[in-house]
Amino acid sequence: MTELKVIVCMKVVPKPEEIRVDPETRRIERSQVRSEINPPDMNALEMALKLKDLHQARVILLSMGPPLFEKYLRVGLAMGADEAFLLSDQHFAGADTLATTYTLAKGIEKLGDPDLIICGEESSDGATGQVPPGIAEWLDQSQITLVTDLEVDLERQVVRGRREVRGGHEVLEVPTPAVVSVKTASNEPRFMDYEIKEDAFKGANVTVWTREDIEADEDYIGTPGSPTIVSGFEQAAVRERKREFLTGNRDEVVRRLVDLVQDLM
Amino acid sequence: MVASLYSVDDEQKTIWVFLDQVDGELERVSLEILSKGRQLADEAGWSLNGLLLGHQISDQVQRAIAYGADEIWIAEHPLLEHFTVDAYTHVVEKALVKGRPSVFLCGATPNGRDLAGRLAVRLRTGLNADCTDLRLDPQSGLLTSEVTGFGGGVIALLESPHHRPQMSTVRPGVFPLGDEDPNRVGLTHVMEIEIVEGMIPTKLIERVVGEGVDLTQTPVLVCGGRGIEGKFDMLQELADLMHGDVGATRPPVDEGHIERERQVGQTGVVCRPKIAFACGISGAFHFVVGIQDADFVVAINSDPNAPIFEYADICIVDDALQFIPALIEDIQKERTTSND
């Protein structure tokens, strides 16, 4: 049986609950914020590792970002991934979806002919969900997004994914190679394996590739490759509320609330 | 710099809207976008056009016109009956390159995101995802999209000044539906398309769709957070009494107490009910944005300093686990009495 080659795309994001905004400058304060692996990407890795449990598979982690991402990739290695690659170059900075998906696609091309590329549904900081279809388009591959279950048929070279849609689901089948995005919280990511943890953090190699390594076109990466610009930040308008406290014993409060609500309906 | 397939100099001063249909019926978000698009088009003196793909769906054309579209481009084919990203991206790309609209909008539904994500790369243009508001400068024709997701109640304004079309996906529920005018007149153009089975590698094996949860339409929304300790049955009982529906903050969803499609807020659904109840919810900003368009907010929390009270019209300092059953009982008693 041939070995399945699975690439898992991973991003490191600031913990959303720790993000603060400087009220004066309206800038996002990232310096004090701790980071984590984008939680949906943990579901993507778990799906890949489940395939590895079932088939002969090689699971490769791929990320794009600053060198500090390296230690997070080691967490993925300790969970059972086989190799980790980080696309890191100052020229990649400022990338929007178009430039990000181009850069990741170039990294995937360099890794060579995977059967599957698995991504999280979306990133918890950008929350666009547009990266998986974007990668699929650059690579001219099929895609199944929002997948909760995935089956691989190695003989027929197809994957079947159960995909969540509003009020139900559908099952789609596409030929491999294909890009799959995993529905957030659709599985329970495993813990790090203590047998391999030490090697993952001390011995294992995280390969860092620059723009030259993946032969990316300068016009397509970072700021030059990004059509989208952030023209400003604003504080979201908050509607003024009455903020009237109902006091008294519970029965009185209930009565007054019921009267109020009836007037509104 | 990367260049889009057609440039600003070649654009037509039009807004195009992808009319998402499921089982032959237009998605509500498409009508919401048409309602907003009509307003933007009127301010700028542009036209508003719809792009409708499917099989035997011509009965939906007048509906789109009634909600504000000036012209509809329609492509009908058996292979377009159900959405596949392969076929739809192909047909929409051809239509956009031909029509060269300045702005192209689509709903941030699962299919809309699949389509937009591929299309933006194919057209080499920018894409603003899951927008919560849109502005169009009548002079420059520049589209500004508002997105949340940066935390702390900050919205970012995104623009794509040098690439066309200016593409955004719009979050369902953020734009109110305009008035339907059945007598409105518009033009229909039938698109000639070439599409064969070999172009569609995606095979639909099974499709099971029932009554979906749609919190954006409910008149009464009863939301629960950590403080209700997973007792969503109790909230459902209250919601049923008031002909409403149940929503949740993120923690109970993550803990598996309730379906993710009921998550309200920045990464969930934005609702505009007449009354929203926030039960046992502390009031983190990413939740509050989900009910900020409610006409009236009632908050119940045992902590008098909970931030949720900043965002409520009626504030009740009490344990939601005790208060809600008392409220349910009172409403039931009243119903029984009035029925006698």
Residue contact B209–A170, C-beta within 8 A: yes
* CA distances to A194, A229, B152, B266 from A16, in Å: 28, 22, 9, 11
Residue contact B2–A225, C-beta within 8 A: yes
| Percentage with pLDDT > 70 across chain A | 91
d(CA A176, CA A143): 9
Residue B230 has pLDDT above 80, yes or no: yes
Are residues B241 and B94 part of one domain? no
d(CA B119, CA B30): 18
Q: Is residue B3 part of a domain?
A: no
Residue contact B315–A126, C-beta within 8 A: no
Rg (CA), chain B: 22
Q: Is residue B210 part of a domain?
A: no
Q: How confident is the model over A72-98, as pLDDT tens digits?
A: 999 999 999 999 999 999 999 999 999
Interface test with B, best of A35, A228, A244, A252 (most B CBs within 10 A): A228
3-state secondary structure chain B: CCCCCECHHHCEEEEEEEECEECCEECHHHHHHHHHHHHHHHHHCCEEEEEEEECCCHHHHHHHHHCCCCEEEEEECHHHCCCCHHHHHHHHHHHHHHHCEEEEEEECCHHHHHHHHHHHHHHCCCEEEEECEEEECCCCCCEEEEECCCCCCEEEEEECCCCECEEEEECCCCCCCCCCCCCCCCEEEECCCCCCHHHCCCEEEEEEECCCCCHHHCCEEEEECHHHCCCHHHHHHHHHHCCCEEEECHHHHHCCCCCHHHEECCCCECCCCCEEEEECCCCCHHHHCCCCCCCEEEEEECCCCCHHHHHCCEEEECCHHHHHHHHHHHHHHHHHHHHC
**Residue A235: closest CA among chain B residues belongs to which residue?**
B154
Are residues B172 and B27 part of one domain? yes
| Percentage with pLDDT > 70 across chain B | 97
Are residues B256 and B155 part of one domain? no
Are residues B325 and B292 part of one domain? yes
Of B137, B172, B199, which closes a domain? Answer: B199
Per-position DSSP letters for A185-243, written without gaps between them: TSS-PPPPPHHHHHIIIII--EEEE-HHHHT--GGGSTTTT---EEEEEEEPP------
Global confidence as pTM? 0.87
How many contacts, defined by CB atoms under 8 Å, are there between A and B? Answer: 265
Domain span at B56: 8-199
Using 50, 70 and 90 to split pLDDT, how confident is the model at B153?
low
Residue A20 has pLDDT above 90, yes or no: no
Residue B219: list chain A partners with CB under 8 A.
Answer: 265
Annotation: CATH topology of A4-220: Rossmann fold (3.40.50)
- CATH label of the domain that carries residue B84: 3.40.50.620
- CATH label of the domain that carries residue B317: 3.40.50.1220
Q: What's the pLDDT score for residue A21?
A: 60
Interface test with A, best of B123, B310, B316, B329 (most A CBs within 10 A): B316
Exposure of B66 in the CB half-sphere (CA atoms within 13 A): 12
Report A:33-72 residues touching B (Cβ under 8 A). Answer: none
Q: Running DSSP on this structure, what letter comes out for residue A34?
A: -
User: In terms of Cα–Cα distance, which of B157, B267, B269, B144 is closest to A128?
Assistant: B267
Report A:166-225 residues touching B (Cβ under 8 A). Answer: 166-175, 184-185, 219-220, 224-225
Among the listed ranges A45-59, A85-99, B120-134, B142-156, which one has the minimum average pLDDT value? B142-156
Residue contact A255–B330, C-beta within 8 A: yes
Q: Is residue B125 part of a domain?
A: yes
Residue A23 has pLDDT above 70, yes or no: no
Residue B114: list chain A partners with CB under 8 A.
Answer: 133, 143, 145
Q: Is residue B301 part of a domain?
A: yes
What is the token pair recorded at B203?
């095979």
Residue B150: list chain A partners with CB under 8 A.
Answer: 19, 21, 28, 125, 233
Residue A219: list chain B partners with CB under 8 A.
Answer: 1-2
User: In terms of Cα–Cα distance, which of B131, B159, B127, B156 is closest to B144?
Assistant: B159
Residue B158: list chain A partners with CB under 8 A.
Answer: 228-231
The count of domains in chain B is: 2
Among the listed ranges A51-60, A232-241, B27-36, B139-148, which one has the minimum average pLDDT value? A232-241
Q: Quick one: average pLDDT of B262-284?
A: 89
Residue A136: list chain B partners with CB under 8 A.
Answer: 118
Q: Give every strand in the sheet of B127-131, ordered side by side.
A: B127-131, B166-170, B101-107, B12-19, B47-54, B71-76, B187-190
Are residues B183 and B222 part of one domain? no
| Unique residue bearing structure tokens 């002919």 | A113
Residue A182 has pLDDT above 80, yes or no: yes
Q: Which residues of A16-36 are buried (b: 16+ CB within 10 A; e: fewer)?
A: beebebeeeeeebeeeebebb
Report A:65-124 residues touching B (Cβ under 8 A). Answer: 96-99, 101-102, 124
Residue B224 has pLDDT above 90, yes or no: yes
Among A14, A26, A244, whose Cβ lies nearest the Cβ of B313? A244
Residues sharing a CB contact under 8 Å with residue B26, sequence separation 6 or more, in sequence order: B19, B20, B60, B63, B64
Q: What's the pLDDT score for residue B122?
A: 98
Interface test with A, best of B221, B314, B315, B333 (most A CBs within 10 A): B314
Among B156, B313, B330, whose Cβ lies nearest the Cβ of A242? B313
Crossing angle of helices B232-241 and B320-339, in 10° steps, is 30
Residue A28 has pLDDT above 80, yes or no: no
Using 50, 70 and 90 to split pLDDT, how confident is the model at A178?
very high
Reply yes or no: is the peptide bond before residue A67 cis, omega within 30 of 0.
no
Residue B184 has pLDDT above 70, yes or no: yes
Helix (H, G, I), strand (E, B) or coil at A176: coil
| CA distance, residue B159 to nearest chain A CA (Å) | 5
Residue B160: list chain A partners with CB under 8 A.
Answer: 227-229
Are residues B124 and B230 part of one domain? no
Are residues B43 and B176 part of one domain? yes
Residue A253: list chain B partners with CB under 8 A.
Answer: 316, 318, 323
Residue contact A236–B148, C-beta within 8 A: yes
Are residues B220 and B120 part of one domain? no
Are residues B237 and B166 part of one domain? no
Q: Is residue B206 part of a domain?
A: no
d(CA A132, CA A166): 19
Among the listed ranges A148-152, B282-286, B297-301, which one has the minimum average pLDDT value? B282-286
Q: What's the pLDDT score for residue A240?
A: 83
Residue A24 has pLDDT above 90, yes or no: no
d(CA A176, CA B86): 15
| Unique residue bearing structure tokens 């060198």 | A67
Among A134, A235, A260, whose Cβ lies nearest the Cβ of B117? A134
Amino acid in position B234? M
Compare B248 and A25 and report the one with higher pLDDT. B248
Interface test with A, best of B154, B274, B336 (most A CBs within 10 A): B154
Q: Quick one: average pLDDT of B55-71?
A: 97
What are the structural domain ranges in chain A? 4-220
Residues sharing a CB contact under 8 Å with residue A164, sequence separation 6 or more, in sequence order: A146, A148, A183, B110
d(CA B234, CA B219): 18
Q: Is residue B207 part of a domain?
A: no
Q: Is residue B205 part of a domain?
A: no
